[in-house]
Amino acid sequence: MAVSVFNLFSIGIGPSSSHTVGPMRAARQFVINLQQGGLLPGVKRLKMELYGSLALTGKGHSTDIAVLLGAEGNAPEGVNPSFLEPRIHAIRQTKELSLLNSHVIKFEEATDLIFHYDKQLPFHPNGMRFTVFGFDDKELFQQVFYSVGGGFIVDHEAAMQDQTICQNDHKLPYPFKTAEELLAHCRSENMSIAELMWENEKSWRSEEEIEKGLLYIWQIMQECVQRGCQQEGILPGGLNVKRRAAGIYRYLQEEERKPLEQRDPAEVMDWVSLWALAVNEENAAGGRVVTAPTNGASGVIPAVLHYYQKFVKGADSKGIVTFMLVAGAIGILYKEGASISAAEMGCMGEVGVACSMAAGGLAAALGASNEQIENAAEIGMEHNLGLTCDPIKGLVQIPCIERNTMGAAKAINAERLARLHGDGTHRVTLDQVIATMKQTGHDMMSIYKETSQGGLAVNVPEC
């Protein structure tokens, strides 16, 4: 599958790319398929079934809300977050669902939206089945989808052929699935990783569209940080987690007014934590975020980009574009070689991958060699191997929000080790660490992979 940077950095809503964004896209795709097949007018009932991790943590991740809104034709990149609550309230009050916002059916949530807590479909832990019935109560059409991380979805037939819904015959000038292949292209063509990614992206869109598109994604990230720095109160879901970003922002503004000699030299890390917290508090509240490469890890890359912009002399838009192209290349390597789904890999598939992407992207923006970039990305993941996904109450809050601050800090440290204190030669390659990550994910018990059946989720009281 040819993957674009714009597939990895997509605009959606919180709290989860695999449990909210993906299911919304799947439900929407299902009803679009009904319409294209001429079946929509004959639908009397829609039954939606969630399996595995989608069932176990679906309520905490708003999967139920996502599939309802998706069935009505809403897309995660376009839906207004303020629209969600009143629309879901209306669906539940009237017990009616408007498929593709054009065909109204009766919908009994208790019997038509089923959580199979003890069942899993064969291809992936994040499985869902949609079935429609006609006015004679006979089955009209059924389709199974999987949400495979980062908002990507795959239907069952395509999954069995190892192809995704967006599979096509798109040809890239420089295709790669491993870091070795990526670096080999760069050496043979005398290109940087960013230059190679630019050429690949040109196979989809114009140079102007690439630059504008990446800078627009950066703008959305900045807006998310700004909102997060202004909002206060308690996050929804029942854990009573207090938003902290606004308070930290006020503290840092006051610190900046002090003479330089009176300021804490570690203040920079408070800024990095602030930016990550701001994004992930917005994500936990169901706000608009950029999957980077997932919602659960959406604060890492914006935090490191803000670090670049605020603390690096000479930072500019060209550096931002370079950062995002290279981070995208690294994200592609993980998607091709392992997974960006916490239900498969634990949190190393989310925050670990985001850390690796951010480390490589920052190294590129600061002028590192291709080998130093690969080293930075490798360090970023090597020290996230085995990271579990054990959200308390199935909410993307504890430990997810703070974990993004740790991922951002590790990324900056990894970049410095690779660029300032390394020449690109290193013992462990990025391909080796990706292979290790994949094996570790397979060996990890399912209770530590976004099921809330182990770790902090069972050892910390929910209230």
For the record, the structure tokens of 109 come out as 């949530």
| Bridge partner residues of 449 (DSSP) | 389
Give pLDDT, residue 102.
96
Give pLDDT, residue 160.
66
Residue 350: name the closest of 311, 413, 295 by CA: 295
Give pLDDT, residue 174.
97
367-371 long-range contacts, CB within 8 A, separation 24+: 367/419, 368/415, 368/418, 368/419, 369/424, 370/183, 370/186, 370/187, 370/192, 370/193, 370/424, 371/183, 371/423, 371/424, 371/425
For the record, the structure tokens of 99 come out as 């498929």
Amino acid occupying residue 83: F
Helix, strand, or coil here: 346? Answer: helix
CB proximity list for 375: less than 8 A, separation 6 or greater: 418, 422, 424, 426, 430
More confident residue, 363 or 151: 363
| Residue 27: CA count within 13 A, CB half-sphere | 31
CB proximity list for 316: less than 8 A, separation 6 or greater: none
Percentage of the chain with pLDDT > 90? 92
Give pLDDT, residue 162.
56
Quick count: other Cβ atoms within 10 Å of Cβ 442?
A: 11
> Would you call the peptide bond into 293 cis, given omega within 30 degrees of 0 as the criterion?
yes
> Does 387 score more than 50 pLDDT?
yes
The domains of the chain are located at 13-161, 179-448
Cα–Cα distances (Å) from 275 to 40, 52, 138, 320, in that order, read 45, 33, 52, 16
| Bridge partner residues of 144 (DSSP) | 129
Confidence grade of residue 463 (pLDDT, cut at 50, 70, 90): low
Give pLDDT, residue 165.
45
Q: What is the per-residue pLDDT across 103-162, written as a single tens digit (0 to 9) for each?
A: 999 999 999 999 999 999 988 999 999 999 999 999 999 999 999 999 999 988 876 665
> Does 316 score more than 60 pLDDT?
yes
Mean pLDDT calculated for residue range 410-436: 96
For the record, the structure tokens of 346 come out as 């634990």
Give pLDDT, residue 157.
80
Mean pLDDT calculated for residue range 371-388: 98
Cα–Cα distances (Å) from 264 to 134, 270, 273, 284, in that order, read 67, 10, 15, 30
Q: What is the per-residue pLDDT across 52-84, written as a single tens digit (0 to 9) for each?
A: 999 999 999 999 999 999 999 999 998 989 889
Weakest-pLDDT range from 22-31, 120-129, 178-187, 304-313? 120-129
DSSP assignment letter at 87: H
> Does 372 score more than 50 pLDDT?
yes
Confidence grade of residue 167 (pLDDT, cut at 50, 70, 90): very low
**Whole-angstrom distance, CA of residue 283 vs CA of residue 77:** 14
Give pLDDT, residue 1.
73
Rounded to the nearest integer, the mean pLDDT of the chain is 95
CB proximity list for 226: less than 8 A, separation 6 or greater: 278
Give pLDDT, residue 4.
95
**Whole-angstrom distance, CA of residue 378 vs CA of residue 348:** 13
Give pLDDT, residue 440.
98
Mean pLDDT calculated for residue range 381-410: 97
Give pLDDT, residue 164.
46
Q: What is the per-residue pLDDT across 196-242, written as a single tens digit (0 to 9) for each?
A: 999 999 999 999 999 999 999 999 999 999 999 999 999 999 999 99
Give pLDDT, residue 123.
86
**Residue 266 dihedral angles phi and psi, to the nearest 5°:** -85, 10
Residue with tokens 């059409």: 141
For the record, the structure tokens of 271 come out as 């800024």
Mean pLDDT calculated for residue range 434-448: 97
**Whole-angstrom distance, CA of residue 193 vs CA of residue 370:** 6
Give pLDDT, residue 166.
44
**Whole-angstrom distance, CA of residue 113 vs CA of residue 290:** 28
Residue 163: name the closest of 16, 13, 2, 15 by CA: 2
**Whole-angstrom distance, CA of residue 258 vs CA of residue 262:** 6
**Whole-angstrom distance, CA of residue 6 vs CA of residue 240:** 35
> Does 422 score more than 60 pLDDT?
yes
- CATH number assigned to the domain with residue range 13-161, chosen from the 4 options 3.30.1330.90, 1.20.1050.10, 3.40.50.10790, 1.20.1730.10: 3.30.1330.90
